[in-house]
Every structure is written in structure tokens, then in C-alpha cells.
């Protein structure tokens, strides 16, 4: 799939889903699928929140796009050479500085291949990568120094600069039909993940993230100020590809991202974020496609995700650090997106300690033998957090391992004092052609999943029975699994 054009990728993905029409069934009863249903008896009434699908339209209307002045600054006018060899880092810096001096505008990258280190954007700046242009980012870690204020797996620190970075600015964008190439592969960046998750890349003893990751967790638990958490050179914590931190009015549109060191699109503590028509194709470790974290008013639409980790993962900080910052991700719309490979299609968690609310997912397609889950919530009693008001409709799934997952036992299991709360989840018109399991729902007895409704949905060619533990206020109506009516009711 690495050599497919965007059009070919779309055709292959959509074509694999087929066009089988599945009609909803009337009536409901306790159903089975390839064996006995494993379930705790649910009780209680569904949770009602006052939130419904009309809010998705309100969120769209509330989001402001960046306002970019009509000034163009052509990168090659500042000494850049599109030969793939010349270091253009200084040319990018000069072009952005000149644009800023004029009050903002577009820094235009024309056709060619431009080698560079980190690119830092200012307010009122649009980095426009024209069709035929490729920005080839260096794999030399020194190109991402000095350290910047960043978030890494939900914990604030001073670390390597993201490849494209902005902090505390308004009106910022990355657009165009060009390619952003992070340069990561089995020999660069990805081996820093370490032995446990390596595939076939070359590892150098001591050059992995394990020790620094543990140290950063200890710093966060001890409430060491983030400005004193120094984790750049020598720590082996890989940088995100694009990170806009504490920004307002953000647009990422049209570009294709490949070969990312770490998470691809990572807006943090930002407001009014639009990600539109973007292709994410990167299969390294922790190669999440788009991870809005502690963001408000976010639209992700018309994107393609083919990734080594979650396609979209909505987050809000990890453990003690997430509770310290205590800002949820809220008011998020995901629409008309395509997901191929990934650990999950649309995911909430696991860095979720600040909470997530008001998420709307509609008209998306997901299919791949390497897609592990379609809809996924992952948390535990170390993470904690409140996840509420999660709406999904008109979802078409071709091939997946588990279709709908809510798991309170992710990683640490039940080892903490911060009970996760998951409530008010609504799924309607889900059409799944092939799955190992339709549902994998595991709450805690003392904190069950509350108010899960599934309506007008079909799951075909399901190999194993669903697992449903500790569900309170669940309702399945007009749901078909392997040609039989299926329901959980409480």
C-alpha cells in the first residue's frame, strides 16, 4: 500500500468494504454468536445527558478557521534548493521570519524535495506545500534541538521539537497537496521504541525509551514542574510529527504524512482545530494518525488513515499529569474518514485522565486484516477520567478483529485509585461484514459502563461470542449478529 496514490488508496479501501445492503430487524432478545454470550446481568436505566446529534452541527458552526493574510513568501526566494540534498532549515526560518514581519501570510513550498530540520510556525502563518513538493525531514536528532515544551504520551516535559511545531499562537495552518516525509524507518527513530515492540529494525544497546519513560512518569507523579523535566538529547523519546500546542484556529488540510517518528498529528490544549483531507500513511511504533489531546472544538473529516497504531485517538493527559492539567477533550466531530491498518479506528484513551466528552463520529469506513478494533475506549483505574456523550452512526466496517470495545483493563488493569467513568454511548446503523467479536465490553463491578445503546446494526461473519461484563443501562435494539437477533437490556 506504500506505493498507492491517494486516489488508488481510496478506491482500494472503499472497494474492499463492498456494498451489501443489510436491513434492520424488529424485536430483540438475548442473542448468541458462535457460542454462549458471556455477560453480567445489567440493571438500571440508561443515562441521559441532554446531548444529542444536533450538537455536532453546533460544533461545526463554532469552529473558526485561521485567518491568514494574503501574502505569499516563496521558499526558494530565501535560499532553499529543492534538490533533496541542500539543508533548507535556515531557508524555512528566514521565510517564516519575513512572513511574520509582514503580519503573516503563506510560506509556499514549490515542487521539489526540501531537506530540513524542525520547522517552527508563528501566528498568522500558513505553511503551504504545493503538489509535487516534498519536505524531507532530517533523522539527525540534533536538528530538533533546543528542547521545546511538549507533551509526550500525555505528560508535559522539555523534549525534542516536533518536526512541525507551534506554541501559543493563533491562526496557524499546514496545507497543500504535497508530502511531508518524516524519514523514520527501521534504522532511524523507530528503534528507540525498544526491544519489547521491535519488529526487525536494528537496535543499539541503551538507545531506547524505556528508562526515560519510567523517569518521566516518576517526575509527573512527584509533581516536578514540567520546565524541569528535561528529556531531549540522550532520552530517546521520539518527537511527534506535527504538534500545535496551546494554539487557536488551527487548520491541517490536504497534505500527506509518511514515515513519522511518533504520533503524526498532535494538537494539544488547542481550540478550533480542523483536520481535513489529510492522508496519514506510517507504520512505525506509536504511529497514531491524529491525537487531539485536551482540545476543544475539533473537526476531523475526509481523511485517510493507514497507521501503525490508532487511526484517531482522543486523549487528555496521563495519570497524575493529566489530573494536574485537568482539561478534557470536548466537542469533537469525526466525519467521512477512511481507516485501514491500525490498532483502532476511532479511539478514546488511553491517556484520558482529564476526561473526554461530546464526541460525534459519522459516515466513516474501516477495513483491514490489520485493523484490530473499530470503535474503542481504553482506560483503567490508574488513568481514571470521565468519558461521556460518545455518539457513532452510519459506520461501515469491512474486516476487523473486534468491532466495539470498551475496556477498563488496558495495560495496568485495575491497579489504581481513580475509577474510570464511561457513560452515555450511542451507536446506530453500524454495518460490519466480518469480525472476531462484535462486542468486547469490560467495566468494573464498582464502576460499570453506563448507558450503552446500540440500534439498527448488523454484524456478520462473527467468529466468537461477545464478552460483556458490568454494563448498567445497556440496550440493544434491532441488532443482528450472524443472522440472529441480539440484545442486552437493562
Most confident of 9-13, 20-24, 315-319, 483-487: 315-319
Q: 309, 402, 428, 472: which one is catalytic?
A: 309
Which pLDDT score is estimated for 25? 23
Which pLDDT score is estimated for 201? 60
Q: Identify the residue with better confidence: 484 or 489.
A: 484
**Is the distance from CB of 387 to CB of 330 less than 8 angstroms?**
no
Rounded to an integer, the average pLDDT of 445-453 is 97
**Residue 167 annotated among the catalytic residues of the structure:** no
- Average pLDDT of the chain to the nearest whole number: 90
**Is the distance from CB of 264 to CB of 238 less than 8 angstroms?**
no
Rounded to an integer, the average pLDDT of 442-459 is 97
pLDDT tens for residues 231-240? 999 999 999 9
Q: Which CATH architecture has domain 59-363?
A: 3 Solenoid (2.160)
Question: What dihedral do alpha carbons 75, 80, 82, 88 form, nearest 10°?
Answer: -110
Rounded to an integer, the average pLDDT of 353-363 is 98
pLDDT tens for residues 395-410? 999 999 999 999 999 9
Which pLDDT score is estimated for 444? 98
DSSP structure string for 165-192: EEES-EEEEEESS-EEE---BTTBBGGG
Cα–Cα nearest to 96, from 126, 68, 116: 126
Rounded to an integer, the average pLDDT of 266-271 is 98
Rounded to an integer, the average pLDDT of 90-99 is 98
In the chain, the percentage of residues whose pLDDT exceeds 70 is 88
Q: 281, 343, 470, 478: which one is catalytic?
A: 343
Which pLDDT score is estimated for 205? 76
The full set of domain ranges for the chain reads 18-45+378-490, 59-363
**Which residues make beta-bridge pairs with 288?**
none
pLDDT tens for residues 323-357? 999 999 999 999 999 999 999 999 999 999 999 99
Q: Residue 396 corresponds to which cell in the numbers above?
A: 461501515
Buried/exposed 223-262: b ≥16 CB within 10 Å, e otherwise = eeebeebebbeebbbbbbbbbbbebbbbbbbbbbbbbbbb
**Residue 309 annotated among the catalytic residues of the structure:** yes
Rounded to an integer, the average pLDDT of 62-77 is 98
Where in 34-132 does DSSP place strands (E)? 38-39, 72-74, 83-87, 105-109, 112-116, 119-120, 125-129
Rounded to an integer, the average pLDDT of 127-139 is 98
Amino acid at each position: 500500500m506504500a506505493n498507492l496514490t491517494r486516489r488508488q488508496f481510496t478506491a482500494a479501501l472503499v472497494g474492499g468494504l463492498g456494498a451489501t445492503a443489510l436491513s434492520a430487524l424488529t424485536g430483540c432478545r438475548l442473542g448468541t454468536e458462535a457460542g454462549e454470550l458471556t455477560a453480567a446481568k445489567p440493571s438500571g436505566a440508561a443515562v441521559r445527558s441532554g446531548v444529542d446529534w444536533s450538537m455536532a452541527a453546533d460544533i461545526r458552526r463554532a469552529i473558526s478557521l485561521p485567518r491568514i493574510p494574503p501574502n505569499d513568501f516563496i521558499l526558494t526566494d530565501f535560499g532553499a534548493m529543492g534538490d533533496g540534498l541542500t539543508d533548507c532549515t535556515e531557508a524555512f526560518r528566514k521565510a517564516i521570519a519575513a512572513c511574520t514581519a509582514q503580519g503573516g501570510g503563506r510560506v509556499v513550498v514549490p515542487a521539489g524535495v526540501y531537506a530540513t530540520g524542525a520547522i517552527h510556525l508563528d501566528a498568522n502563518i500558513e505553511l503551504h506545500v504545493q503538489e509535487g513538493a516534498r519536505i524531507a525531514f532530517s533523522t539527525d536528532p540534533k536538528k530538533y534541538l533546543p528542547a521545546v515544551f511538549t507533551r509526550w504520551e500525555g505528560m508535559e516535559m522539555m523534549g525534542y521539537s516536533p518536526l512541525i511545531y507551534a506554541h501559543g499562537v493563533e491562526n496557524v495552518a499546514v496545507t497543500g497537496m504535497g508530502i511531508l516525509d518524516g524519514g523514520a524507518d527501521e534504522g532511524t527513530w523507530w528503534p528507540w521504541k525498544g526491544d519489547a515492540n521491535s519488529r526487525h529494525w536494528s537496535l543499539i544497546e541503551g538507545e531506547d525509551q524505556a528508562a526515560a519513560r519510567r523517569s518521566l512518569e516518576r517526575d509527573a507523579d512527584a509533581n516536578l514542574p514540567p520546565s524541569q523535566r528535561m528529556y531531549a538529547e540522550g532520552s530517546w523519546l521520539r518527537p511527534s510529527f506535527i504538534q500545535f500546542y496551546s494554539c487557536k484556529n488551527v487548520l491541517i488540510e490536504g497534505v500527506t504524512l509518511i514515515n513519522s517518528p511518533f504520533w503524526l498529528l498532535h494538537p494539544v490544549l488547542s481550540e478550533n482545530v480542523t483536520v481535513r483531507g489529510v492522508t496519514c500513511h506510517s507504520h512505525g511504533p506509536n504511529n497514531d494518525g491524529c491525537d487531539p489531546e485536551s482540545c476543544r472544538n475539533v473537526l476531523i473529516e475526509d481523511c485517510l488513515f493507514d497507521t501503525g497504531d490508532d487511526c484517531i485517538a482522543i486523549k487528555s493527559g496521563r495519570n497524575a499529569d493529566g489530573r494536574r492539567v485537568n482539561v478534557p477533550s470536548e466537542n469533537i466531530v469525526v466525519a467521512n474518514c477512511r481507516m485501514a491498518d491500525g490498532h483502532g479506528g476511532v479511539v478514546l484513551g488511553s491517556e484520558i485522565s482529564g476526561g473526554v466528552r461530546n464526541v460525534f463520529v459519522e459516515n466513516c469506513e474501516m477495513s483491514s486484516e490489520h485493523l484490530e478494533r473499530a470503535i474503542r475506549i481504553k482506560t483503567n483505574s490508574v488513568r481514571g477520567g470521565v468519558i461521556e456523550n460518545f455518539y457513532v452512526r452510519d459506520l461501515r466496517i469491512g474486516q476487523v478483529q473486534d468491532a466495539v470495545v470498551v475496556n477498563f483493563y488496558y495495560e495496568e488493569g485495575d491497579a489504581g485509585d481513580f475509577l474510570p467513568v464511561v457513560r452515555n454511548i450511542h451507536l446506530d446503523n453500524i454495518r460490519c461484514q466480518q469480525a472476531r467479536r462484535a462486542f468486547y465490553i469490560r467495566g468494573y463491578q464498582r464502576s460499570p459502563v453506563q448507558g450503552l445503546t446500540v440500534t439498527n446494526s448488523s454484524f456478520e461473519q462473527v467468529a466468537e461470542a461477545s464478552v460483556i461484563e458490568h454494563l448498567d443501562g445497556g440496550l440493544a435494539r434491532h441488532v443482528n449478529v450472524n443472522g440472529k437477533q441480539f440484545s442486552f437490556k437493562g
